[in-house]
Structure 1
Amino acid sequence: MEPQTGGVPGEVEIELELDDIQSGALHERPSPYVGSYLLLRIDDLAAGRELVRRLIPLVDSGRPAAIPAHGAWITVAFTYKGLEALGVPQNSLDSFAPEFREGMAARAEHLGDVGASSPANWERPLGTGDVHVALAALSPDAERLEAVLARAHRAFEELTGVELIWRQDCYQLPTGRTSFGFKDGIGQPAIEGTGIAPTNPRERPLKAGEIVLGYPDETGELPPMPTPEILGRNGTYVVFRKLHTRVAAYRTYLRQRAASRDDEALLGAKMVGRWQSGAPLAVSPERDDPALGADRHRNNDFLYGDDLRGFKCPAGAHARRANPRDALYGDGSVDVRLHRMIRRGTSYGPMLPEGVLDDDGVDRGIIFVFAGAHLKRQFEFVKTQWLNDGIFIGAPAEKDPIVGSADGTGTFTIPQRPIRRRLTELPPFVVTRGGEYCFAPGLRALRWLAELDT
């Protein structure tokens, strides 16, 4: 099975109801940007509905815009407990995906969030059931962000019965790099019907139903959708995770195992699957190529089918695990396209200064947001089967070397000639601070929620 370029002959591309879809899932963020995540609790049903009514004017639709009318992109999403607090009828609540109804904390052990990453150690109120509404605001600059946040605050500050219980500021550097030093946000799938061209011309756009409910997905079927239709259609599930990055431990681990600074950079690239600039190992396996990493028309234009043994990019590297591309087509057991999703990574906390190997005790890391129509076969499958397991790459004892649930005993294999290299005693480089499963409704659904009279 070879990946197809462009549309499938004879197929008519689906037309998305862009005016009803929240913009956050479909459109790239500006770069650089600043942002904030706000979490709220609803203590009074009527106040909660009034909050939704007040937030609707701040939410942009999926129509593309260089800068939205409000100067920032606002996304509104709800947890299961939040929909319950709004008085959504039980038969509608029961129609949501089981994983969403259970919540992330209840599924933590399955996801590998154990030990230091277990819900017992999460940052409150994450995972407690108090999180009802999640607001994400992102803007090209701090001035416009604060103006929009002021409007959002006015929407709930005057309401008795709605409480702001958590805020996390975030940002993206002009380089696009995260706290580990690697450029992020490369390799997003294109979605049919958005008009946004793929950055990898070797892959056709995903069916819209993989990301937005109410449209056929890659199986040709309509994904299960919450009822009534006005509530589910044009919505998407959102996975929100706060991940603390142990940058000093990561740098120290590489320094102790590298023969030189160049070897250190190579080891880091082998673990991630890209050089720090964003240049993929699949294209530039021997040395970093900053021009390639900066070129969005080239830095995602590759496959792994010509490197099945992983001499260029190890099969266990983070980027390759998260999206194996065509590397699994040969065995026919897994359709990679059924496990794609939109990924949005955002940095929080100050960067650890270059060259520092000692932990300064400051909390820093990544806010990861995933959007898709299938919590179980998208986020949960990738997390449990590809990141926390190595069976699919023929190394059952190995996990993702960067984000896998490590305990200090793991290994990572780097194929090379004449003999492979094996890194051992991998410590955890990422610790889960908390997370929530949310649902981002369409704009019509937001109005439906605001006008509930149950």
Structure 2
Amino acid sequence: MCCWRTRRSSAPCSAVMTACGISGATSSRISAARRPTVIGPRGVELELDDIQRGVLSPRPTPYAATYLAFRIDDRAQGRELMRRASAAVTSAADSASPLGETWVSVAVTCTGLAALGVPRSSLDTFAWEFRQGMSARAKALGDVGESAPENWEAPLGSPDVHVVIAAVAPDPLQLEAAVERARPAYDRLPGVMAIWRQDCYALPTETEHFGYRDGVSHPAVEGSGIVGSNRLEVPLKAGEFVLGHPDELGGAQTPQPPVLGRNGSYAVFRKLHQRVAEFRRYLKDSATGPADEELIAAKIMGRWRSGAPLALAPQRDDPELGVDPQRRNTFLYERDDPAGFSTPGGCHIRRANPRDASVAGEVRLHRMIRRGAVYGPPLPDGVMEDDGADRGLMFAFIGAHLGRQFEFVQSEWMNDGVFFGAGSAKDPVTGSHDGITGFTIPRRPLRRRLAALPRFVVTRGGEYCFLPSLSALRWLGDLQD
């Protein structure tokens, strides 16, 4: 990982934080020109050339990625960054461009919008979770103890993080080309300081450090032209992921003015350290042998490590199914497995997306676009002792509702079990465990109870961000004091 340490901002951070309660300058008024639209199968119109590609498009496989964080010390130069970024960012309409599966996204925190001079009257129309910031929401998210903000990697969670630029490409060489394409946006701007970088990648096997195939599930969004990974799932309303469009409840969330809010989205970035050796030891200590170890791993996740779901391969792994994107995510729970004898109700994937299962809460209101990229070197196969290397997952959530999507799932489904009748039981993989509660596997005639779960994943930091549309990036660049 490359990390830059730079001088602190000449403007006190407290002034910027107050601005996310904020004192404001007058915003300029720019009318959004009518742009070409893409009409979905149900007549939904999305202005794809105004939406950042990172909002809707699944990532390529394999891929490399990098996250760059910046602090704005000079407002005028920060606005220049926005103007330049509008030319570097890839739109959702660029899928057939020469860039192919390479793209750049730009996100701004609440303190970043304040540093750019967005007035308080505008910031007050953004989601209140966004205005508070991730570190202020730590307890609700289960980020306590080792995962508490005071233990986060600097500068994550601090008022210094104003802009996050993410670049994604199919391989490291194309990634560097994408970074170079974005470099003119921030190069030679001494008032915009690069303060953090995290390089990530995806293996050709699509697995993460615990050994599971990742990136299997992606929802269909009306009007996006992107086919979802589960053919049994009805496409979700565009407003669940793109601001300014009707959502599942019929409303439309649009931060003001519309030129700033429409066609944007919220993004959650989290750096999650994975304790791979401890995870391996837990599986081995809980199992009667290698085959049982793999079964326990599958029951904890809800999928075999090949990617084959227990819903479709309940008795044994099916690697061919695991690599088949047309079949490996096409299933439901309620009709075939309401009691969780195949896929436990408390496993990771059933908590994160209960699909058609009868749970507390309307599942479609909490659906998310999730993306993950591993960082750090893999722990060699068979190693059961930690080697001290930092390795884990850069998690990204995209959605229009921070509260009822990301925060609800994190607090009510991942770090509690009441929604499916399991009391305070937490997600076995990512839950904020205290070493007291174990994991229960439904089984006939008697359920199987595993030993108390340690914490396998520790939060190293994160940010709540806003992904402006391309026209909003230009609007931010043209702001006047």
Q: How far apart, CA to CA, are the structure 2 residues paired with 1:342 and 1:68? A: 26
Query: Which SS does the other structure have where 2:450 is aligned?
Result: strand
Q: Which amino acid aligns with 1:237?
A: Y
Tell me the equivalent position of 2:317.
Answer: 288
Aligned partners of 2:268 and 2:397 also within 8 Å: yes
> How far 1:71 sits from its partner (Å)?
6.8
Alignment of 1:127-142 (within 5 A): 127-142=157-172
Task: Note closer, same or farther for the CA distance 1:184–1:66 as it changes in structure 2 (3 Å cut).
Answer: farther
1:58–1:70 Cα contact (<8 Å) kept: no
Q: What is residue 425 of structure 1 aligned with on the other side?
A: 452
2:82 aligned residue (24, 37, 52): 52
User: Are 1:109 and 2:139 matched, yes or no?
Assistant: yes
Pick from 401, 410, 432 the counterpart of residue 383 of structure 1.
410
Q: Counterpart amino acid of 1:293? A: G
Q: Which residue of 1 aligns with 2:443?
A: 416
Distance 1:68 1:319, change over 3 A: farther
Corresponding residue of 2:387: 360
**Letter in structure 2 aligned against 1:187:** S
1:299 aligns with 2:301: no
Equivalent pair of 2:101/2:169 in contact (CA under 8 Å): yes
Letter in 1 for 2:122: S
Quote the residue 1:321 is aligned against.
351
SS at match of 1:307: coil
SS in 1 for 2:215: coil
CA 1:70–1:280 in structure 2 vs 1: closer, same or farther (change >3 Å)?
closer
Query: Residues 426-441 of structure 1 correspond to what in structure 2 (within 5 A)?
Result: 426-441=453-468
Identity of aligned residues (%): 60
Is the partner of 2:438 in helix, strand or coil? strand
Give the corresponding residue for 1:392: 419
**Pairing partner for 2:225 from 191, 195, 198:** 195
Q: Which amino acid aligns with 1:96?
A: F
Asked whether the 8 Å contact 1:60–1:68 carries over to 2, the reply is no
TM-score, normalised with respect to structure 2: 0.90
Q: Which moved more, 1:408-417 or 1:109-118?
A: 408-417
Whole-angstrom distance in 2 between the partners of 1:188 and 1:263: 30
TM-superposed deviation, 1:201: 1.7
**In the TM superposition, what is the alpha-carbon distance from 1:198 to its structure 2 partner?**
2.5
Per-residue CA distance 1:150-207 (angstroms, 9 max, x = gap): 2333432311111000000000111110000000111211100011223212111000
User: Aligned pair 1:405/2:425, yes or no?
Assistant: no
SS of the equivalent of 1:368 reads strand
1:439 and 1:177 map into 2 onto residues whose CA distance is 28
**Counterparts of 1:171 and 1:448, CA distance in 2:** 33
1:53 positional shift = 1.2
Contact 2:202 2:373 in 1 (8 A): yes
Deviations 1:371-392 (A, max 9, x none): 0000000000000000000001
1: distance between equivalents of 2:233 and 2:181?
41
Q: In structure 1, how many angstroms separate the alpha carbons of the residues matched to 2:476 and 2:445?
A: 63
Q: CA deviation at 1:56?
A: 1.5
Please say if residues 70 and 148 of structure 1, whose CA atoms lie closer than 8 Å, have aligned partners that are also in contact.
no
- 1:1-400 pair list within 5 angstroms: 12-65=42-95, 69=99, 72-223=102-253, 225-305=254-334, 306-328=336-358, 333-400=360-427
| One-letter code aligned to 2:381 | E
Give the letter for the 1:361 counterpart. G
User: Gaps spanning 5+ residues in structure 1: where?
Assistant: 1-10
Amino acid at match of 1:52: M
Amino acid across the alignment from 1:177: T
C-alpha separation in 2, matches of 1:71 and 1:155: 20
* SS in structure 2 at match of 1:399: coil
Aligned CA-pair RMSD: 1.3
AA paired with 1:115? G
CA distance in 2, matches of 1:253, 1:64: 45
Report the 3-state secondary structure (helix = DSSP H, G, I; strand = E; otherwise coil) of the residue aligned with 1:401.
coil
Alpha-carbon distance in structure 2 between the residues aligned to 1:70 and 1:182? 27
Asked whether the 8 Å contact 1:387–1:400 carries over to 2, the reply is: yes
1:170 & 1:117 partners in 2: Cα distance? 21
5+ unaligned residues in a row in structure 2: which ranges? 1-40
Equivalent-residue separation in structure 2 for 1:135 and 1:152 (angstroms): 8
Q: Is the contact between residue 63 and residue 171 of structure 2 (CA under 8 Å) also seen in structure 1?
A: yes
